[in-house]
Amino acid sequence: MSYFLYIILGLLPSFIWLCFFLRKDVHPESKRMILKIFIWGMASTLPIIFVVISLILLESLEDIKNMIGISIIGLALYVLFWATAEEVLKYLVVRYKVLRSSEFDEPIDIMLYMIIAGLGFAALENILILFGAHPLFTFPELFFLAFLRFISATFLHALCSGLIGYYMALSFFETKQRKKLLLFGIGIASLLHGVYNFPIIIIEKDIVYEPVLVIALISIPIIVLIGLAAFALVAFKKIKKLKSVCKI
């Protein structure tokens, strides 16, 4: 029974944000399509899991951690690589499961489906983290962890995916700049994702001990979230003004 509760706790942050973002669409998408993309978003987490498990089985994960610990630059590149991999996987879900769908008929759809894929990705990530933490945490502590994921990592996945969706929508109208817009969207989302993760990993690895520096590092993810949230508000308003879709 406790495992079922962990699954619910892992899904809840994504479901709450999903309800919030779906209200942005005046022409609601079908529940079947929403569920389909959410599940595919969860599935897009699997390649990351496969690589991590493979590294553990090969007993090379610790060697990689030691290697990137040699320099801050190495750690930054490592974090950026994983952030980029995650954003690309979420993009591929929408690229191959939405763009040619008959239900995709207005620009705002692409932002929403990217966000749905991102929330699916975050949901499985949350579940795995809660399952990994449950031997060491009490249920109230796990509930608090789920809440922290709700206001941080889950929100980040939704916002970064939404940013990519915004530039994907623009690319339908700027056909000559399509590839540049897509690459820019994925690139800036990956960079911000990496910037968000980097100070958290620095703190977790105990690289910085000074309280002032720790507080400064903690402020970086907060600034990233606020900036992305502000961008999302503006982006939704701009995308709603685009009345048609030129599919690829």
For the chain, the domains span 2-240
193 closest CA partner among 112, 121, 107: 121
Mapping DSSP onto H, E and C, the string for 193-243 reads HHHHHHHHHHHHCCCCCCHHHHHHHHHHHHHHHHHHHHHHHHHHHHHHCCC
* Cα–Cα distance for residue pair 43/76, rounded to 1 Å: 26
DSSP state of 137: S
How do residues 34-91 score in pLDDT, each as one tens digit? 999 999 999 999 999 888 777 666 656 556 556 555 567 777 887 899 999 999 999 9
Q: Do the beta carbons of residue 2 and residue 134 sit within 8 Å?
A: yes
> In the block, which residue shows the tokens 């945490």?
137
> In the block, which residue shows the tokens 């749905």?
116
Q: What is the mean pLDDT of residues 153-159?
A: 98
> pTM for the full model?
0.91
Cα 75 to chain centroid distance, Å, stands at: 20
User: In this structure, what token pair is assigned to residue 57?
Assistant: 């089985």
How do residues 192-229 score in pLDDT, each as one tens digit? 999 999 999 888 776 666 788 888 889 999 999 999 99
Q: Do the beta carbons of residue 22 and residue 106 sit within 8 Å?
A: no
